[in-house]
Chains A and B, each alone.
Chain A
């Protein structure tokens, strides 16, 4: 057993730290107040340094840093800007990833390569007004017409919807079969006629990442843009979410570690009753509890990344990463805010935003209730019992 990061991953962490601190941190306000995603020049710079293709092989324009490298990226991005991390996470972790996992070689050349290079931005369009946790209730229709499919339907809460060039979309090709053979994935280009952004959500947190409602109206998709085998889209989309989950744990780790660092700094400088508040046992215990949870999360995240990189089963661990990580980040941020007292509640400090930003990870990419179902399903399956949501 060896718990040290490889030299290249250590250098990569420094690369990401340098980028986030020098390029992203000074522009947090700009990012948070933007309705159209992070500033274009920042996106271009991130692309130049390879940030949009971290886990993918270099032959597809990526960095070749694997799941471990991708987790390091999400950890570092989320320390500084969960909004930016969300934009990148939706782009890499679910949209590009779907094409990487199930796309044909031509689709990879045409879409994955420019996406990994950051020349095209991706979105993952699964959720619908009537189909959230219950993705099997997807209503968006895809009807075959010659060598194309015509898509009609509404997707909502789609990250990057308004800034994407490419979206992977799940639609019903055979309503009679539903998720078992009747749903198909499509690769859609946002400038095609019939792709419309109908709303940009006004959200509690990650306000710098655009979350959109997308209406598909008689959108014609050529047959070569079917993602994976016809009828197998539900599997593609679920499999993609599986891979993405570990990295939500990684992002949560970065966010939690960042606020712990702030809390420690504050505890040793803020004085009350004749000395630094670090001398108060209640503060010490909060710091100790935060550090303990973060340490457990770190081991969990990188062990799961190792499972993914070494091609071992990881589904249960990935769901645990997402569940535990998101809750640790919320708990730790809440304590860090408490340690800061009134200042923690102020908009001038990153704690208030941290708390709003952390909350999303308990909801998206499968709510934490759904994660518990996934974990339990995995456990019971090992005992020959199948459970359903």
Chain B
């Protein structure tokens, strides 16, 4: 079984602060992390590998050269190899705060990644995090499946069976089945990702390589990546109302919640 896990590198949210009054995002520390849901996707792949030595897990990333670090981290957590799609012709991805500068859209990214999956070859399964923490769009997995012409199983919590040309997987309330090759998306609460193995962290930099493919390698020119959508402007998201805090004992709090739900006619009795 060959499984590709998509890895997105995002700005560490603990490194920036939001000034609502001035509608600005301040990046205090420019540090990057692997998108959390992608770690759940990786974990799902590694669990397949735990039970089957033959399984090969390939981490696939897209972006500027620094994404190399995210892919080495994926290897340090257990991925067997890593591929980075990176090209000086691709516009430098930027922090979500400046997303208007982004010149390649999810459509372009998905087509590039589909070409990379095909170039990796003999891939049975692609696993993606359901959405990225920065954009929250969740657009890429569906588009990637579309570009590959594969079925997509969204919001999968566990793979129940894999092999003989089919995958059976559980969502929260349904079981799905699809012919392989297929693409799964995994939400953040699907599993507990494993940690970084120390020795693998050392080897990820001292011994292992990240294979880098540019547009040429994948048979693309920048013109092929004309976005379908362009960002017309930016808007600061509206302030979310904070919930009410209930004081007192647990019993009192429960009583109060029930009373309020009754008052809003959300429960009967």
On whether the beta carbons of B197 and A11 are closer than 8 Å, the reply is no
List the A residue with the shortest CB-CB distance to B192: A22
What 4 pairs across the A-B complex have the smallest Cβ distances?
A15-B196, A50-B198, A8-B205, A63-B198
On whether the beta carbons of B195 and A50 are closer than 8 Å, the reply is no
Contact partner, B198, options A7, A12, A22, A23, Cβ 8 Å: A12
A51 to chain B, nearest CB (A): 7
B158-213 at interface with A (beta carbon < 8 Å): 195-199, 201-206
Binding site for A on B (CB under 8 A): 69, 72-73, 76, 195-199, 201-206
A4-60 at interface with B (beta carbon < 8 Å): 6-8, 11-12, 14-16, 18-19, 22-23, 48-51, 54, 58
On whether the beta carbons of A49 and B197 are closer than 8 Å, the reply is yes
Task: List the A side residues contacting B201 at CB < 8 Å.
Answer: 8, 11-12, 15
28 contacts between A and B (CB under 8 A): A6-B205, A7-B69, A7-B72, A8-B201, A8-B202, A8-B204, A8-B206, A11-B69, A11-B76, A11-B196, A11-B201, A12-B196, A12-B201, A14-B196, A15-B76, A15-B195, A15-B196, A15-B197, A15-B201, A19-B195, A22-B195, A48-B197, A49-B198, A58-B202, A58-B203, A63-B198, A64-B199, A69-B198
On whether the beta carbons of A51 and B198 are closer than 8 Å, the reply is yes
On whether the beta carbons of A50 and B197 are closer than 8 Å, the reply is yes
Binding site for B on A (CB under 8 A): 6-8, 11-12, 14-16, 18-19, 22-23, 48-51, 54, 58, 62-65, 69
List the B residue with the shortest CB-CB distance to A62: B199
On whether the beta carbons of A64 and B195 are closer than 8 Å, the reply is no
Q: Which of B69, B76, B202 neighbours the largest number of chain A CB atoms within 10 Å of its CB?
A: B202
On whether the beta carbons of A69 and B202 are closer than 8 Å, the reply is yes
* Complex: A48 Cα to B50 Cα, angstroms: 14
On whether the beta carbons of B69 and A65 are closer than 8 Å, the reply is no
* Complex: A15 Cα to B199 Cα, angstroms: 11
* Complex: A15 Cα to B198 Cα, angstroms: 7
B59 to chain A, nearest CB (A): 14
* Complex: A14 Cα to B205 Cα, angstroms: 14
* Complex: A62 Cα to B199 Cα, angstroms: 7
Task: List the B side residues contacting A7 at CB < 8 Å.
Answer: 69, 72, 205
On whether the beta carbons of B198 and A65 are closer than 8 Å, the reply is yes
Task: List the A side residues contacting B205 at CB < 8 Å.
Answer: 6-8, 11
Task: List the B side residues contacting A11 at CB < 8 Å.
Answer: 69, 72-73, 76, 196, 201, 204-205
B170 to chain A, nearest CB (A): 25
B74 to chain A, nearest CB (A): 11
Task: List the B side residues contacting A8 at CB < 8 Å.
Answer: 201-202, 204-206
On whether the beta carbons of B206 and A49 are closer than 8 Å, the reply is no
On whether the beta carbons of A58 and B199 are closer than 8 Å, the reply is yes
A317 to chain B, nearest CB (A): 24
Task: List the A side residues contacting B204 at CB < 8 Å.
Answer: 8, 11
A77 to chain B, nearest CB (A): 13
List the B residue with the shortest CB-CB distance to A11: B201
Task: List the B side residues contacting A63 at CB < 8 Å.
Answer: 198-199, 202
B213 to chain A, nearest CB (A): 21
* New A-B contacts (17) at CB < 8 Å, excluding given A15-B198, A58-B202, A69-B198: A7-B69, A7-B205, A8-B202, A8-B204, A11-B73, A11-B76, A11-B201, A12-B198, A12-B201, A15-B195, A15-B196, A49-B195, A49-B197, A50-B199, A58-B203, A65-B198, A65-B202
On whether the beta carbons of A64 and B69 are closer than 8 Å, the reply is no
A174 to chain B, nearest CB (A): 42
Q: Which of A51, A62, A63 neighbours the largest number of chain B CB atoms within 10 Å of its CB?
A: A63
List the A residue with the shortest CB-CB distance to B68: A7
A250 to chain B, nearest CB (A): 16
A82 to chain B, nearest CB (A): 21
* Complex: A210 Cα to B172 Cα, angstroms: 45
B191 to chain A, nearest CB (A): 14
B218 to chain A, nearest CB (A): 27
Q: Which of B76, B201, B203, B204 neighbours the largest number of chain A CB atoms within 10 Å of its CB?
A: B201
* Complex: A49 Cα to B76 Cα, angstroms: 11
List the B residue with the shortest CB-CB distance to A18: B195
Task: List the A side residues contacting B196 at CB < 8 Å.
Answer: 11-12, 14-15, 18, 49
Task: List the B side residues contacting A54 at CB < 8 Å.
Answer: 198
Task: List the B side residues contacting A64 at CB < 8 Å.
Answer: 199, 202, 206
List the A residue with the shortest CB-CB distance to B77: A15
